[in-house]
Amino acid sequence: MLDSFRLRMAALGGYEGEAKRRNSQKIMDASWMRDPATKPVYVKWVNHGLPMVDDDDTPVYAKYNVKSYHNITGDEISYLLQFRLDDMRDNPNIKVGSYVQIMNEMDEPEWWLIWHLDDRNQFRQYSIVKCTHIYRWLSLKDGKRVIHECLGCPRNQSSYNSGVWLDYTTQVVENQHILVMPTNDDSKTITYDTKFLISEPGRYPPLAWKVSKVAPSLNGDITKFTMTQEQFDPARDNTELMIANYYDGVVNPELPELEEVPTVSDLEIVYSGVPAVKAGGGYKKFTLKQRVDDKLEDATDTVEWSVDFGGNEDKLEYTFQDHICKVKCVNDYSLIGTTFTLIATTEYGSKSLVVEITSL
């Protein structure tokens, strides 16, 4: 009897403090879904481009608590996000540098960036800040210009001056701010003197900024960029795309490919599960592949996607990015059972796929 009691007490913890922590964790897990601060969220780690919620993504329930209240002289407010321990162990995307999609009280999706882990002894929480702008810039890779875009979080930076630097001959603006991004393949292309156009719609000329300092975090998960205000150049900056130095640089001519050109039969559109999109559901991802030596590889040629839905194309929402197409259907039950055709066209052929609209 004494041995059974000792085994039971050992399961609760080796000492009283450990037992109290375990009991507190069990109580929190039991009341997790009853807490009004608990919300379903989607956590996405993105190495390239913008985060998107796919049809096969599963939400995680997290507690969403305010960390600091907004004031008119401060930055966008930061919040605390707390996950259950089991979700933190099972989901590798829950880490500093990942994006989190949270629905606000108006049932609108908002993207936040996990900035910092509050590494306390119990009930760990992440500091998150809202992503308020899509940043676009250019980089050179193998002599070619590449357009990048990434969600980021601007923060205030004290300039300690009146906004301009003036001598007897020149006047230069000196306003500053900080941009925070996850450390991924896109943000690694940002170097010193990289130029951005960051301005509200309708302003002309838009405000231009230039990177003056690159400061990765100690663990390398996020990177802070200090920016100083720069002069807008109408001969190089594209105000329609909001990309600085868009007309700058020389694009080297492409040499003809000497490899075997894939035929129409070599192209395949791959997907997970069945070729179907749920009415009112999330995005379904389709990828164009080419078969080389009996192996499927990503299509290397330029791909043009199109959708044929018999005049109902406005019932679909789709995004195209290189060889990847993401499609979702509006919440219209009358479309259940209908089909549309997804077409991928390259320089050497095309491939089509019939996709069905199904219920949730």
Instruction: Determine, yes or no, domain membership for 237.
Output: no
Residue 20, pLDDT score? 64
Is 16 part of a structural domain of the chain? no
Are both 270 and 339 inside the same structural domain? yes
* Cβ–Cβ under 8 Å, residues 84 and 29: yes
Confidence at residue 14, expressed as pLDDT on a 0 to 100 scale: 62
Domain co-membership, 347 together with 272: yes
Same domain for 90 and 65? yes
Decide: 212 and 196 in contact? Cβ < 8 Å.
Answer: no
Q: Which residues of 272-296 are buried (b: 16+ CB within 10 A; e: fewer)?
A: eeeebbbbebbbbbbbbbbeeeeee
Instruction: Assess whether 119 and 142 both reside in one domain.
Output: no
Name the strand (E) or helix (H) holding 4. helix 2-12
The domain total for the chain is 3
Tell me whether residue 245 is in a domain.
Answer: no
**143 and 118 both lie in a single domain:** no
Pair 140, 126 in one domain: no
125 shares its domain with 139: no
SS3 225: strand
H or E segment at 44? Answer: strand 38-44
Within this chain, do residues 126 and 137 fall inside the same structural domain, yes or no?
no
Q: Is residue 268 part of a domain?
A: yes
DSSP bridge pairs for 317: 328
Query: Cβ-count burial of 338 within 10 angstroms (0-12 exposed, 13-18 middle, 19+ buried)?
Result: middle
CB 40, CB 59: distance < 8 Å:
yes
124 lies in the same domain as 138: no
Residue 248 lies in a domain: no
Q: Which tokens belong to 135?
A: 């940043």
What is the CATH number for 63? 2.40.10
> Is 65 a member of any domain?
yes
- Output the CA–CA distances (angstroms, integers) from residue 130 to 42, 124, 144, 191, 217, in the order listed: 14, 20, 33, 24, 19
Same domain for 169 and 124: no
Cα–Cα distance for residue pair 177/195, rounded to 1 Å:
13
Consecutive 10-residue averages of pLDDT for the chain (360 residues): 60 62 65 76 91 88 75 69 84 91 88 84 80 90 86 76 54 75 92 89 87 87 89 88 78 53 65 86 86 73 84 84 86 85 82 85
Largest CA distance in the chain: 93
Q: Is 60 exposed, middle or buried (0-12, 13-18, 19+ CB in 10 A)?
A: buried
Please provide residue 193's backbone torsions phi and psi, each rounded to the nearest 5 degrees.
75, 10
Q: Which of 96, 114, 130 is the last residue of a domain?
A: 130
Residues 50, 100, single domain; the answer is: yes
Q: Which of 130, 157, 182 is the last residue of a domain?
A: 130
Phi, psi at residue 309, to the nearest 5°? -125, 25
Whether residue 139 lies inside any domain: the answer is: yes
Residue 147 and residue 118 share a domain: no
Neighbours of 148 (CB within 10 A): 19
- Domain of residue 284, residue span: 264-358
Residue 184 is assigned to a structural domain of this protein: yes
pLDDT of residue 223: 93
